[in-house]
């Protein structure tokens, strides 16, 4: 699609056809869907005598489903294999280069955003280039199929029409298949690849929460041992905005205690937003010097010495 001839006249152009005859053949190939739009584009290419870039919104946003919708099945396979592989190769090369040359000088908070932005820019550039040449590509396909129909059935308009309707037109099944593939790809990303990114981030947040809670509990336990009172006004600075520490004489899920250190996870973003509002609680056991730990996290996420609810 991006390597279309810009020769004069356009490839497969049938000079012997009258304008009316050419329009009729174009209508058979295009079908009724968006016929006026494509006839206008085809007429522009015919008059100027060469192919040139135009703009096609459907190709910009959903190239693969559009190819299937327009029955360009083999081209859709080539596009999905070669095109997407080309995008992925470029994304990988640029990311590796940036990783070595620039990432050491960029704050950790911005690194994932920059990586995502690089991939998005490369993808948008590719989509932009495809959208500019889609009309020329579809015109070329029409001229090729018309040339084949004329060569195969020079004296039989009925068979020419059948050929063009078979090779052209639209396919709602193809359109559904294209969007179905996108849905399947998103599901695979969510189920298989997103956890690969989310798990290290979740472990980092959980470690910070436990470490902050344990540090605060040690300070609270020392003061409690010295004064016999829970230091509910003890200033706590965790050094992170993702963990909030509270000290209180009671805690949710604890039946009997007179002092509890509560670490609440907050402000974490996608893909680990599900950790928000979960907590770790270190609480003093009445009648002794022991402190126990419970957590609202599930068994897989909670620390080993904290029992999940």
pLDDT at 3: 46
What's the pLDDT score for residue 276?
A: 94
Of residues 263, 266, 292, the one with CA closest to residue 280: 263
The span from the CA of 175 to the CA of 173, in Å, is 5
pLDDT along the chain (309 residues), means of 10: 59 89 96 95 92 93 94 92 87 89 84 88 93 95 95 94 95 93 86 82 90 92 92 83 92 90 91 91 90 90 74
Over its C-alpha atoms, the chain yields an Rg (Å, rounded) of 32
**Looking up tokens 């996420």, which residue turns up?**
301
pLDDT at residue 133, as a whole number: 94
Tokens of 45: 């290419």
Q: Nearest 5°: phi and psi at 251?
A: -150, 145
Chain region(s) in the chain for CATH 3.30.700.10: 201-308
- Bridge-based pairing of strands 291-295 and 307-308 is parallel
User: In the CATH scheme, what architecture does the domain 201-308 have?
Assistant: 2-Layer Sandwich (3.30)
The rounded distance, in Å, linking the Cα atoms of 203 and 126 is 36
């Amino acid at each position: 699609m991006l390597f279309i001839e810009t020769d004069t006249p356009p490839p497969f152009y049938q000079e012997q056809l009258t304008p009316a005859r050419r329009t009729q053949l174009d209508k058979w190939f295009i079908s009724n869907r968006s016929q006026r739009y494509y006839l206008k584009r085809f007429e522009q290419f015919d008059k100027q005598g060469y192919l040139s870039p135009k703009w096609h919104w459907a190709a910009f946003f959903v190239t693969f489903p559009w190819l299937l919708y327009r029955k360009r099945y083999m081209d859709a396979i080539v596009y999905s294999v070669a095109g997407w592989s080309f995008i992925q190769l470029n994304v990988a090369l640029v990311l590796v280069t940036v990783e070595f040359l620039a990432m050491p000088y960029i704050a950790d908070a911005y690194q994932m955003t920059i990586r995502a932005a690089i991939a998005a820019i490369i993808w948008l550039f590719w989509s932009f280039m495809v959208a500019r040449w889609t009309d020329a590509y579809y015109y070329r396909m029409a001229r090729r199929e018309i040339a084949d129909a004329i060569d195969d059935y020079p004296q039989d308009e009925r068979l020419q029409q059948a050929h063009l309707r078979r090779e052209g037109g639209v396919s709602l099944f193809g359109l559904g298949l294209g969007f179905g593939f996108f849905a399947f790809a998103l599901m695979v990303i969510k189920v298989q690849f997103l956890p690969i990114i989310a798990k290290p981030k979740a472990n980092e947040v959980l470690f910070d929460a436990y470490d902050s809670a344990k540090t605060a509990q040690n300070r609270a336990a020392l003061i409690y041992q010295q004064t016999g009172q829970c230091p509910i006004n003890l200033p706590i600075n965790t050094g992170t905005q993702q963990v909030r520490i509270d000290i209180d004489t009671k805690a949710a899920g604890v039946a009997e205690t007179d002092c509890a250190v509560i670490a609440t996870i907050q402000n974490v973003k996608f893909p680990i937003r599900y950790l928000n509002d979960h907590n770790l609680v270190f609480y003093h056991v009445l009648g002794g010097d022991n402190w126990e730990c419970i957590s609202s996290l599930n068994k897989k996420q909670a620390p080993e010495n904290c029992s999940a609810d």
